[in-house]
Structure 1
Amino acid sequence: MSGLLLRLAGPLQSWGERSAFTPDRDTAPFPTRSALTGMFAAAEGIHRHNAAALEHYRALQFTVRVDRPGTRIVDYHTVGGGQPKEKTAATSGGSNKGAAVITRRHYLADAVFIIAVDGPHDTLTRIADALHQPHWSPYLGRRSCVPDEPLLLRTHTADPVDDLLHHVPLSPDTARPAPREDSVPVTFWWEHPKAHQSGGVDGLNLYDMPRSFAPHDRGHDRRHLYRTVERLPARLAVSPHTLHRQLIDYATKEGSA
């Protein structure tokens, strides 16, 4: 097994959890497994209809560190209206004459997540190579949500979860309590409970394990997640003025790919 580390940050992110082409387009509070799998598949150039190609992603294990949960915002949209009848969506009453469809799209603003990905070495090598030179560009849940740099922090890491806990710089968050002595509390989401987890454990079920991304045949299996609050070394909580320099230093540290 091997591992890689991603940093998902940007002005806006949106990780659809339940909605599928509905007027109210929700977002999960952290990146879903479906979205991360879709990012990898797109980078590798895998077509949406190729469900069989998704099987090799099932062996991956994801751990999410919530550096900054972001602020939830809702964007009001109208689609159509003022167009010829044949170009306008039908309303609930059955008419499509001059109608506009209203949608509300949910986003996380200014959020930051660090993702540890464990899995077979050959699978992660393909993913890392694809993220360096993607077939289709990665985005943070929606095409309009462009990721900040650096996106790929480290590849071929022996223990990416240990890096989350002890080495990856922590993005500033004004809502986070000040460090207490030599540690700072940070939320984690785990696919499997860990023996070292120091905080209380709660969890939730998500239907975000993708079976198919085909537009008319999408399917997802259930996944259980465990939430803990871990106390990280206070030295990881760096200044916003030095954050990117330290991230780059970490990403290019000797021994990384």
Structure 2
Amino acid sequence: MIESLYIRLSGPLQSWAGPAVSGNIIRTEPWPTRSGLLGLLAGALGAERGQWPEWLNDVEFVVRQDRRPNIVDDFHTINPRTESTLFRRRHQIVQGISAGKAKGKALVFTPDAQGGTSVVNRTYLADGEFIVRITSEKHLDELENALATPGFVTYLGRKAFAPDFPFYLGRGSADCINEIPIVSNLHRTVESEQPQSQPVTMVTYGPFHPASGRRNQTAITVVNQRDEQLSFISGHLVIRRQLAG
């Protein structure tokens, strides 16, 4: 039996940034991205930026959308950080720019590259919920340790976006991605009747899949309450203590 790890990505806001339109226009993708999920695992492993283990590229993810998020706009400004002026002056001198010319707007930075206050536009995902299956042929134990006791604080794309509890669901059969029920009120209004099952979209990311992932739909059992879902999870997934060694 192939085993996998399961996490739940849910919270008031999430951010899974795609390509930046410019330095001050950043749009989130509607789904957690492969690069974002790899970064989440690297942080749990305690890996510094640029020092991720090479084997992370072989990890496979299946992302299941249990609740479709709303895309919300965020508007804020960034002012120049004058405390960085000394560093930038030294950096430019090293590049051969004379001390007399290394001044003014060239010594401060904002995303619009004008040295003044920048207007920054971002979008985020609000009230979304995803269940993610993580599969690794040789490093599942190591990832299990990391998700149970993360090296760095886990967040949903931005440090301000903490995940709801429970985040780490446990370890179990790879088939559980199709068996963990969804909660009825995540997909229906109060007036509508509860269906017995619900088609749910999944995206698979991996070394043998397109960079944008491969999508499919699967009918998932529907339950009335969150407790019923959590009861199923506790009966089919195991949360172990940190493994020895």
Q: Structure 2 length normalisation: TM-score? A: 0.75
TM-fit CA distance, 1:175: 5.7
Residues 76 and 49 of structure 1, relative CA distance in 2, 3 Å threshold: same
In the alignment, the residues of structure 2 paired with residue 136 and residue 127 of structure 1 have an alpha-carbon distance, to the nearest angstrom, of: 13
- Say which structure is richer in helix: 2
Q: Structure 1 length normalisation: TM-score? A: 0.72
Question: Quick check: which has more Rg, 1 or 2?
Answer: 2
TM-fit CA distance, 1:131: 1.6
Deviations 1:114-157 (A, max 9, x none): 0111222x5121112112211111100111111001111121x1
In the alignment, the residues of structure 1 paired with residue 111 and residue 28 of structure 2 have an alpha-carbon distance, to the nearest angstrom, of: 25
TM-fit CA distance, 1:254: 6.3
Q: Is 1:229 the counterpart of 2:228 in the alignment? A: no
In the alignment, the residues of structure 2 paired with residue 158 and residue 174 of structure 1 have an alpha-carbon distance, to the nearest angstrom, of: 26
In the alignment, the residues of structure 2 paired with residue 47 and residue 83 of structure 1 have an alpha-carbon distance, to the nearest angstrom, of: 27
Identify the range of structure 1 (12-21 vs 67-76) with the bigger mean alpha-carbon deviation: 12-21
Aligned partner of residue 140 in structure 1, secondary structure: coil
Amino acid in the other structure paired with 1:26: R
Aligned partner of residue 229 in structure 1, secondary structure: strand
Aligned partner of residue 172 in structure 1, secondary structure: helix
Residues 107 and 178 of structure 1, relative CA distance in 2, 3 Å threshold: farther
Residues 174 and 250 of structure 1, relative CA distance in 2, 3 Å threshold: closer
Match of 2:131 among 114, 125, 136: 114
CA contact (8 A) 1:68 1:172 kept: no
Which consecutive residues of structure 1, in runs of 5 or more, have no partner in the other structure?
A: 193-208, 210-220
CA contact (8 A) 1:67 1:172 kept: no
Matches within 5 A, 1:98-109: 99-109=116-126
Q: Is 1:49 the counterpart of 2:66 in the alignment? A: no
TM-fit CA distance, 1:226: 2.3
The structure showing larger relative contact order (alpha-carbon pairs under 8 Å, at least 6 residues apart) is 2
How many residue pairs align between the two structures?
Answer: 214
Residues 171 and 79 of structure 1, relative CA distance in 2, 3 Å threshold: farther
Which consecutive residues of structure 2, in runs of 5 or more, have no partner in the other structure?
A: 84-103, 240-245
Q: Is 1:142 the counterpart of 2:158 in the alignment? A: yes
Q: Is 1:89 the counterpart of 2:109 in the alignment? A: yes
Same amino acid, percent of matched pairs = 26
